Amino acid sequence: MFSRREFAHAIAAAGALIGPLSGRGLAQGLSGMTEEALIGGPAGGNVSLIHVTDMHAQLMPVWFREPSINLGVGAAAGQPPHVTGEDFLRLYGIEPRSPMAYALSSADFAALARDYGRMGGMDRIATVVKRLRAERPDAILLDGGDTWQGSLTALRTNGQDMVDAMNLLGVDAMTSHWEFTLGIDRVTEIVDALPFPFLGANIYDAEWDEPAYEPYKLFERGGVQVAVIGQAFPYLPIANPRWMFPNLSFGVREERMAEVVEEVRAEGASVVVLLSHNGFDVDRKLASRVPGIDVILCGHTHDALPEPLMVGDTALIASGSNGKFLSRVDIDADASGVKALRHRLIPIFADVIAPDPEMAALVAGHRAPFAAELSEVLGETEALLYRRGNFNGTFDDLILQALMTERDAEIALSPGFRWGPSLLPGDRITKEDLYNATAMSYPAAYRSEMTGETLHVILEDVADNLFNPDPYYQQGGDMVRVGGMGYRIDVSAPMGSRITDMTHLASGEPIDPARSYTVAGWASVNEGTDGPPIWDVVEAHIRSVGSVTLQENDSVKVTGA
């Protein structure tokens, strides 16, 4: 295990290294940091895993601000990943304002971003993967899903840009979530051509209640059998449109997982890895109830943790999102099982890690047909635009304003998605930036009438998806963003009584349960929703305001945390 002290030491050493500035416009704060220092020492043990997850089709380096509010409830209250800001830095012994503080937390984000530059980029990730495989050619590269959705090019190519990039990267197995929002026909077309298995032990045929995808894959590595079990997002037909994959059923299916673990152990697996899209708190509970899993590579909730969180003998590893990080896990195992495990969360500092030319060429090839669109400037932002946070994010504030203005609505609703990179104050907003926050396959911006009572039911329902004390009832997104209406939420109250003091902001009046309000929103899971795509709505708004300014959003009052 990479201890807290070792981790802090490695980062300090990386910061202290002195070297010449490269010619690639190295971000000032990173001078002296090297690829070698980021990647770490030689591979230990005899089995290596490489984990990427929740890339959301981000082929290019991005700004991505981590959340400042990420509340845990029940047993997870105050536990990682529900620790943010300075508390997070203290917990893991990370120097404030250091490169890793910038990468992993939200404090001083805009200022530190200028010092340390963008993160991620598929060509940089490819460089790291190649370096790791130079040391250990048979390292197992695992993709936790949410890979094929989230950008203009992924939208236009139905995920083909990401499929081609991941194939070149050399993925050995993947699991899934947003992949299914391409529709089952397209998923089947891609999966049939993938050179690696698309795993999902919890994906069932809804009619016959039989497994629909391969549950696991066995790899012989370093003289032992390594089982990789896949677990897709359990609540796909609820959180995303069921009509897009009508014959599939998901769910946590804890008993099924226990059976599969027993099965792979019986087949001789010495190392059992769960490649999971459950979400961190679901994985924490699963690890406490299903014996025999050595490593859970967590996904879905977009958490990045610099060291594993141990639940009994199971190491939970959270590798972030949007291409910001990659985890390497070196394991020493023999026939009797795992002897030692060392994890390193590698931050993909785009100005330190050299682009891999082969991957850079593939990415450029996929972007070329859309070059004019991608670079089209719609306006600029004076505000830091970001999405992560339990209750609101400034990019969502912008989307809500656009919905209310362009769709002439009293109240706007925007889903609590966790994908979508950030923009810094002074940045131009390009069409690429807008699509990074909105690109998906059910974008219709509806306009509807809802009573105050209905709005309350919706808020309570979503709040329970986030704050139910039993993780198996959580869906892993954030609270629905609300424009034009404020409310108070007691996150520790039971469902039905968390949301109070709903207020119509324009009039200052309490929301009347019986009155009908005009509501605009997007990303409805209902088939046949009418309305223009959300990116057209937001583009029109940005063009009309020219420069985006936002007031501080204090319309949600939080208690019980």
Q: Residue 497 or residue 551: which is nearer to other proteins going by CB?
A: 497
The minimum distance between CB 524 and other proteins, in angstroms, equals 4
Could you tell me the sign of the dihedral formed by the alpha carbons of 304, 306, 310, 313, in that order? Answer: positive
For residue 250, state whether it binds other proteins (rule: CB under 8 A).
Answer: yes
For residue 472, state whether it binds other proteins (rule: CB under 8 A).
Answer: yes
For residue 102, state whether it binds other proteins (rule: CB under 8 A).
Answer: no
For residue 237, state whether it binds other proteins (rule: CB under 8 A).
Answer: yes
Tokens representing residue 467 in the block: 């704050």
Q: Residue 359 or residue 534: which is nearer to other proteins going by CB?
A: 534
- Judged by CB under 8 A, the number of residues near other proteins is 54
Q: Residue 117 or residue 477: which is nearer to other proteins going by CB?
A: 477
Q: Tell me the residue type at 559.
A: T
Which residues are bridge partners to 516 per DSSP?
A: 451
Query: Which span (193-201, 232-240, 268-276, 361-369) binds other proteins, by CB under 8 A?
Result: 232-240
Q: What is the dihedral of CA 342, 345, 348, 349, to 10 degrees?
A: -110
For residue 184, state whether it binds other proteins (rule: CB under 8 A).
Answer: no
- Separation CA 428–CA 126 (nearest Å): 28
For residue 96, state whether it binds other proteins (rule: CB under 8 A).
Answer: no
For residue 496, state whether it binds other proteins (rule: CB under 8 A).
Answer: yes
For the chain, the C-alpha Rg in angstroms (whole number) is: 23
Contact by Cβ (8 Å): 324, 56: no
The minimum distance between CB 256 and other proteins, in angstroms, equals 10
Q: Residue 68 or residue 451: which is nearer to other proteins going by CB?
A: 451
Interface of this chain with other proteins, residues 153 to 182, rule: CB under 8 A = none
Interface of this chain with other proteins, residues 319 to 378, rule: CB under 8 A = none
For residue 525, state whether it binds other proteins (rule: CB under 8 A).
Answer: yes
DSSP class of residue 505 equals T
Q: Determine how β-strand 516-522 pairs with β-strand 411-416.
A: parallel
Sequence-ordered strand ranges (E) for 400-508? 411-416, 428-430, 445-451, 478-483, 485-490, 499-504
Residue with tokens 């959580």: 474
For residue 251, state whether it binds other proteins (rule: CB under 8 A).
Answer: yes
φ/ψ of residue 533, rounded to 5: -65, 145
Residue with tokens 């500092």: 349
For residue 483, state whether it binds other proteins (rule: CB under 8 A).
Answer: no
- Separation CA 463–CA 492 (nearest Å): 10
Tokens representing residue 41 in the block: 């020492």
For residue 464, state whether it binds other proteins (rule: CB under 8 A).
Answer: yes
For residue 454, state whether it binds other proteins (rule: CB under 8 A).
Answer: yes
For residue 446, state whether it binds other proteins (rule: CB under 8 A).
Answer: yes
Query: Which span (36-44, 103-111, 449-457, 553-561) binds other proteins, by CB under 8 A?
Result: 449-457
The minimum distance between CB 237 and other proteins, in angstroms, equals 4
Contact by Cβ (8 Å): 324, 348: yes
The minimum distance between CB 466 and other proteins, in angstroms, equals 9
Using alpha carbons, list the distances in angstroms from residue 289 to 270, 280, 293, 468, 472: 20, 14, 10, 18, 12
Instruction: List, edge to edge, every strand of the sheet that includes 516-522.
Output: 445-451, 516-522, 411-416, 478-483
The minimum distance between CB 473 and other proteins, in angstroms, equals 5
Contacts with other proteins, 399-418, as mask; x by CB under 8 A: --------------xxxxxx
Where on the chain is the footprint of other proteins (CB under 8 A)? 206, 209, 233-235, 237-240, 242, 249-252, 255, 413-419, 446, 448-451, 453-454, 456-458, 461-462, 464-465, 468, 470, 472-473, 475-478, 480, 495-496, 521-526, 529
